[in-house]
Structure 1
């Protein structure tokens, strides 16, 4: 916001002598006779300098100007703060809606994946739910990869079968490769799920 002080090139607490000196400098610089070929621009600048000096060189007019300007600044700042608050509220609401939509799309994809449908079906279902194509592809890929990981884990667990010697108690702690397998897969699966969707299974 340009002020009369800025027009003269002085601070708002400038003395009368500083204002007079600034006016003389500006008037000499922008006098139309000193700016051949730029008369229109010079005339406008010269007039602004004269108007600013007329107000700031008069104590009463300067006081009124300062009061009015301060009021306008407070009003402008209040309007700006209100506008920023409204924008922030709108952004938060948009983020909430987007998060709810994302979680809904993930839940739908998981349901169809659990029913045995492949990645392309998941993608098509999400598109049918007004899911943006890029997001639908990303969710379909992630959910399908998750299902494949779960299926592979289940098949590996079924293929390995119980590996406990008859003389060992049934509740003995696993050891060796069985211990690594038992300890590795749940953590890996949980990390995979958390990495994809930001939540724990």
Structure 2
């Protein structure tokens, strides 16, 4: 809803002279005689302009209107901020719920992949959990890829362990830094995997 100032096209701190000039300009623009074919709409706008000018041109009425308007604007602003806060809270809760559900689906996919099921089975399980098809496809592909990477890493370290035989009386070899780094490497892969699955 427009304010009286907006109806006349002036700012809230307009002078009496500015209000008078704006009234004359608006009245001429909206006068029914100048709006052939849309007289009814022009007449309604003309009446609004006259009412706005009647109040704003009278110092006492303008003061009362400004007080009421200022209070109403404060209430409106408070109501707007409250609605924004409530909307942000709802959106945050929905986002958190979606992220939790996503993490649960990733964990489910990883569990089936670790048990040796192929990509199609993992994909089908996710669909059975009401997961949408594009997301299910992405999670299934990523889970299978991560599991394959883990298996390759484990096989690599197993081969290295077999090749390291300590002969009797020989000096004990230094610890293999790459082996000790394996858990960290797998943790990094898991972190990258989760980041890659985010919406």
TM norm structure 2: 0.85
The equivalent residue for 2:56 is 56
CA distance in structure 2 between the aligned counterparts of 1:11 and 1:95, rounded to whole angstroms: 42
Q: Hey, what does 2:102 align to over in structure 1? A: 102
1:53 is displaced (CA, Å) by 0.5
Q: Are 1:28 and 2:28 matched, yes or no?
A: yes
Which consecutive residues of structure 1, in runs of 5 or more, have no partner in the other structure?
none
Q: Which aligned pairs between 1:72-87 and structure 2 lie closer than 5 A?
A: 72-87=72-87
Query: Which of 186, 193, 198 pairs up with 1:196?
Result: 193
Taking only aligned residues, the RMSD between alpha carbons, in angstroms, comes to 2.4
Deviation of the 1:30 alpha carbon? 2.0
Asked whether the 8 Å contact 1:7–1:52 carries over to 2, the reply is yes
Task: Give how far 1:165 is off.
Answer: 6.9
Structure 2 partner of 1:170: 172
Output the CA distance in 2 between the equivalents of 1:25 and 1:100.
60
Shift in Å at residue 158 of structure 1? 2.5
Cα offset for 1:184? Answer: 7.8
Which stretches in structure 2 are left out of the alignment for 5+ residues? none
Any idea what the Cα deviations from partners look like across 1:35-92, whole Å, max 9, x if unmatched?
Answer: 3333223222211111111111112211121111112111211211111111111111
* 181-190 vs 67-76, which moves further: 181-190
Whether the 8 Å CA contact 2:30–2:42 is kept in 1: the answer is: yes
For residues 139 and 103 of structure 2, the distance between their equivalents in structure 1, rounded to whole angstroms, comes to: 10
The Cα of 1:130 is off from its aligned counterpart by: 2.2
Alignment check: 8 A CA contact 2:157 2:179 kept = no
Matches within 5 A, 1:1-201: 1-160=1-160, 161-163=162-164, 166=167, 169-174=171-176, 182=179, 188-198=185-195
Distance 1:100 1:43 in 2: 59
